[in-house]
Each structure stands twice: as C-alpha cells, then as structure tokens.
Structure 1
Amino acid sequence: MPLSLLSLNFAIICELETAFVVSEAGKKFSITFKNDLLDIRLAADLYIDGVRTHNGFLKAGRQRQVLGIRKTVSSVLPFKFQELELVDPDVENAPVDDVVVPEMGTIEIRTFRCRTVRTAQYHNRGHRLHQGRVSKRSNKAGWHHVSTADEIPTSRYKYATDLLTYLDPRDAPYASVKVFYRPRELLVDQGVIAGHDVGAGNGNPGGSEVNDRKRAREGGSPGPSKRAKEEMSALSQQIQALQAELNSIMAEQSRLRKALEITT
C-alpha cells in the first residue's frame, strides 16, 4: 500500500483502504498521512464529508499533518467533531446543505502520481467544510460532521505552492484511504464495534427499547433496530461500491505497469 493514514484523533488508524473511528462531539483532531513510496511523488486531495478541503504535495517518504482550516498565514481553525443539525426541508428558505449527504461521516485522502513543474505564489483558496445542516429526511439522526474550533496560532505558513502535472486521472487515484467516523452508539448499532465497548450508563444502543422488551419475553437477545439495519445496509452498499472501484483501479494499474514493461 503506497499510502498510510498515520493518525486521526491522535490515534494510529490503518494502512488499509478503509477504516472506522469513533467520533465524539466537541473533540478536536488533526490528520496525518504519509507517502510510503521511495521514488514517487504524490499529489494529495483531502475530502471531509464529501467536500475537498485541502490539496497538497508529498515527496517520497514524507508525511504531512493537517491541523484544520487555515485562517491566516499564522493561524488555523482546528478540526473538531460536532453534532449534525437536522432541518425541516418544508420550511421556506431552510438552510440545508444536502449536496454531499451520501459522503457525510467520511474523511478521505486521494493521491495521484505527479511531477513538479515549478513553484509559484500561493493563494488562499478559501477552503471550506460542510455546513452541518441536513434534511430531517436524510436518515442522519445522531450523526456527527466535521466543524472547526476556535482559532489557534501556528508557525508562519510558507506562501508558495508547487504547480504539478498529474500522471493519474483525477477520477482514478493512484491510492486512497477512506475513514468512516460515527458516534460510538451508531457503530454499535451497525455492528462495527461490540456493545460492551460502550461505557456504563449509555443504555443499550444495540436495538430499540420496544424490540428489546419483546425479545426478552421470547427469550432472545437484543438485536439491531430498524434504523440500524437500514444504516448497515446503506453502509454495506457503500463499502461494496468502494471495493469495486478499488479493484478497477488496481486492474488499471496492473495494465499500465505491463504496458510500461513492454515499452522499456
């Protein structure tokens, strides 16, 4: 795997294509990733909740840390998890940002092989995040989104950027890592983590209260709620689609490598 996601929320995550992490409302975090290749430079695009928030350049063997959204040359707004706000879409002029709801709850890094053309003056592109307001019909009750905390000082940013020539198509990344973040209760509902991992006093997030009472009478164990089943099904379809996309990319990479061997 040519790309490692070294840390998210200050914890080691993975060297795989997908992973799950627990989000906590109000908790700040940074994102660190690394180019594990020894001789290939990578351009990296960071997507949060489906919105491209950063793009950068990684030399071979180098890593990069993203603290948040840059405010000035010497300060940033740190990333933090925040509860998603549900809005009634029938209310006139309701400010709902539903454009990227299918990607809500995801952090993705897409990388592309590239060549540096030249260094140029950097211009702040006004990177943004999802506004965190979605329709009540989006089936996202209890979810989080990524927002920003209060401004903090950083070392002065170098206002220069590298102009790149991409060697991979923008719709076919060379390598990518995608993290699904959810509140702990939702991950339990979806069967991603065990229910006993939830702290005492959180109730039983594994199923609805009515269904649990019914199963208790029947001598059965609590199971997932209807909402949990729907979310598990949607998540499973997402993962299958990602796996199919990954298989296609790997096949294309293999074809390109064989073509290069023939030409050389």
Structure 2
Amino acid sequence: MKHRDCQIFIKCDGKVLDEHDVQVEDTVISCYIASEAGKEFTLWINNPSSTDISADISVDGRPFPYPSFLSAHQEDTALTYRDNASEIRALMFSDISVTDDESAASILPDASHLGLVQVHICRVQIGKDVPYEPPADVAKNFGPLHEKTKKGGMHCVSFGAVTEIPITTNSMAVLIDKVSSPYVTFNFRYRPQAILQAQGILQPVVAEPPLANLASDISVQRDAPGCAPLEDSTPRSTRRRPAGTIGAEGPRKRPRHGGASSSVSSPLETTTTRHASPVVESKPLVLKDEDVDDEDELNALRAQMRAMQGRMNVLEGRRSHTGRTPVVKRETSPVKAAKFDGDVIDLTGD
C-alpha cells in the first residue's frame, strides 16, 4: 500500500501479497491480506520522500522493542524484529492453538488487534548513534488459548527462526510528528483465505476439470467394447444432411416439451461451451469491535465447512469425469435359438 509518499508491502515466499479492499481514511490506509499458517513473511518499506521517517511496528497488538529509522530517499528496506544486539527473528503466520485447559489464557490483553499488522510512520530528523541497549520488554509468542476466547480457526503472528546480524549502536532521532498523531498509519488485516471468502472480501475459487482430460475420457468411452456409440460431436451449425434425406415435408424436428427445445448437444459441445457464472460484486462485511469474537469464530467454521464441501465437489466431479464405462463380458447362452422359415408363431393361444 502507498499513502502520503510512503509505501509498505508484505512479501511471502518471495512474492508481494495481494492487498484486498484497500480503504483510505485521512491519514490511515487499511487492507486485507490472505495468510497461510506456517509461512514466514517480511515487511518492506520505501521512503521516496525528502524527509527522514521512523516506523513503529506492532503485530497482534505486540509492539516491536525499537522503531526503525529510514533516511530520506531510502527504499527497499526490510522492517525486522530485534530484541537483542546479535540477531533478528523472522515473522510467521501461525494457527491459534485452542484448548479447554482451565489454566490456559482466557483473555487476550488486546483482542481487538488480533489479526492486525500495524505500522505508524512519523517524520523525524535522524541524529547521532548511541551504544545499543537491550530493551526492557520483548514480545512473546502466544501460548494455547482457552476456547472461551472463540479464536479457533484464526491466525496469529509468531516469532520464528533466528538470523545472526549483530549491531553495536542504535540511532537517535527528533520527532517532527507526535507519536499520538502519526504522519500515516498502515493497517494490514490478515485472515485465512477461507475466512476472507466467507466474508465476501475474496471470491471463492471453483476448480474446473481440465478440458483435455474430459475429451480424452470421452474418446476412451467411445472406443470401449459394449459401449453405445456417442452422438457425432460436430457442432450442429456445421452439419450437413446427405442429399435426398430431406423429404417434401421439410427437415424433421424433434418435438418440444414444455416450450423448451429438445435438441441435445454432444458431450464435447457441452464441455467446450461452458461459461463461468457472472461474478456478483459484494461489499465486505464490516464488523463492530464487540461482534468480532463471535463473528470470527462463525466465519472460521463456515469457511472450513465450505472448503470441505468444495473439495468434495471437486473430487466427486473428477471421479465422474474420469470413470470408465464397465465392460460386460457376454457369455454364450445355453439356449439355442431355432431356425424358422419365416412363419409366424402364435404365442397367444392356450
């Protein structure tokens, strides 16, 4: 996202994550991104302006120990988490572990910020460097949460692998903007893709069987022993009747039932002329803070059910398209048919 001469984006697996439902309100810009449990990600920032800036970062309401400073015109800089002088720690999307153990945490200190990566940008004047001092407080990973928190199916950010990058100093800076009124605020609201689809922020992806596989299946069925011949797959608009097949009464037509045409397309026609349903644009679901707990849990459960149902539909469709027509072995009948010279046998008499 880019706002007021500052740009921040998130990379995962070397690719910039798509930003959905981007909204701008005064100095705040917000969007949704799809998260995948177990995937590490990195925050990147560009400062093309002529002013130094600071970036205060928090994940799920847990602030980084120190802000990051960027000089004017400094670009392609990673915003990393550091709580000591020798190493940085990776950021990773993780599943929230839920338990019924009464000793587990039943209240999150800042539940409204769960699922939020937030960056406050302030304009500053970077000053001199000072010796590095360890922070008094560091962020910690979430442990198992009690099921009362109703956060099952949601994701959180965990601090993962360690990379050794030693430093000896920290920078000092003079603030131009107040911390309580930052120059710009970036809000990245991350959710599992299934939940974003359930909320209408993302459109569900419907998997279609490959056309090549369907054509191959039809060809195999056409050649299978004992299989009835399939109708010619040539489009009807290009077919020609052999000469002399149209009588005086004109071309024959199949009867209509209920006012609908009774013409039947061949399997290949049905496959190659299939069109996607029109996409209906829907507004994203806006939740109030007091409704977030219940709605997030319901959306997570609905999304899991839809994902499973969609997977079942794909598997059932694939099985129906890749199934083979069973070949029935014909046995010689023990009853031998008699030969007749064309006489008709009356079977209605006593």
What amino acid does structure 2 have at the position aligned with 1:103? H
Cα separation, 2, equivalents of 1:197 and 1:48? 32
The answer to whether the Cα contact below 8 Å between 1:69 and 1:79 also exists between their aligned partners in 2 is no
Cα separation, 2, equivalents of 1:197 and 1:42? 44
The answer to whether the Cα contact below 8 Å between 1:107 and 1:178 also exists between their aligned partners in 2 is yes
What amino acid does structure 2 have at the position aligned with 1:143? M
Deviates more, 1:100-109 or 1:111-120: 111-120
Cα separation, 1, equivalents of 2:44 and 2:117? 12
Cα separation, 2, equivalents of 1:198 and 1:165? 54
Residue 40 of structure 2: aligned partner: 28
Unaligned runs of 5+ in 2: 210-283, 293-350
Residue 154 of structure 2: aligned partner: 143
Residue 89 of structure 2: aligned partner: 77
Alignment length, in residue pairs? 203
- Identity across matched positions, percent: 17
Residue 254 of structure 2: aligned partner: none
Cα separation, 2, equivalents of 1:107 and 1:78? 14
Residue 6 of structure 1: aligned partner: 9
Q: Does 1:158 align with 2:167?
A: yes
CA change 1:117–1:150 in 2 (3 A) is closer
Cα separation, 2, equivalents of 1:199 and 1:97? 44
What displacement does 1:96 show? 4.7
What displacement does 1:4 show? 0.5
The answer to whether the Cα contact below 8 Å between 1:105 and 1:181 also exists between their aligned partners in 2 is yes
Residue 126 of structure 2: aligned partner: 116
SS of the aligned residue for 1:102 comes to helix
Cα separation, 2, equivalents of 1:198 and 1:176? 38
The answer to whether the Cα contact below 8 Å between 1:29 and 1:67 also exists between their aligned partners in 2 is no
Cα separation, 2, equivalents of 1:77 and 1:143? 22
Q: Does 1:233 align with 2:233?
A: no
Return the match for 1:44 from 55, 76, 101. 55
What displacement does 1:116 show? 2.7
The answer to whether the Cα contact below 8 Å between 1:41 and 1:114 also exists between their aligned partners in 2 is yes
What displacement does 1:5 show? 0.9
The answer to whether the Cα contact below 8 Å between 1:113 and 1:174 also exists between their aligned partners in 2 is yes
Residue 131 of structure 1: aligned partner: 142
Unaligned runs of 5+ in 1: 201-228, 239-264
Return the match for 1:196 from 193, 198, 205. 205
What amino acid does structure 2 have at the position aligned with 1:124? P
Cα separation, 2, equivalents of 1:171 and 1:197? 45
SS of the aligned residue for 2:205 comes to helix
What displacement does 1:11 show? 3.0
Cα separation, 1, equivalents of 2:8 and 2:108? 28
1:204-215 residue pairs with structure 2 within 5 A?
none
What displacement does 1:57 show? 0.7
Instruction: Extract structure 1 runs of 4+ deviating beyond 6 A.
Output: 197-200, 235-238
SS of the aligned residue for 1:165 comes to strand
Residue 208 of structure 1: aligned partner: none
SS of the aligned residue for 2:108 comes to coil
Q: Which has the larger radius of gyration?
A: 2
1:217-228 residue pairs with structure 2 within 5 A?
none
What amino acid does structure 1 have at the position aligned with 2:97? E
1:181-192 residue pairs with structure 2 within 5 A?
181-192=190-201
SS of the aligned residue for 2:161 comes to coil
CA change 1:198–1:29 in 2 (3 A) is farther
What displacement does 1:29 show? 1.4
The answer to whether the Cα contact below 8 Å between 1:70 and 1:76 also exists between their aligned partners in 2 is yes
Residue 95 of structure 1: aligned partner: 105
What amino acid does structure 2 have at the position aligned with 1:152? T
What amino acid does structure 2 have at the position aligned with 1:181? Y
RMSD: 3.1
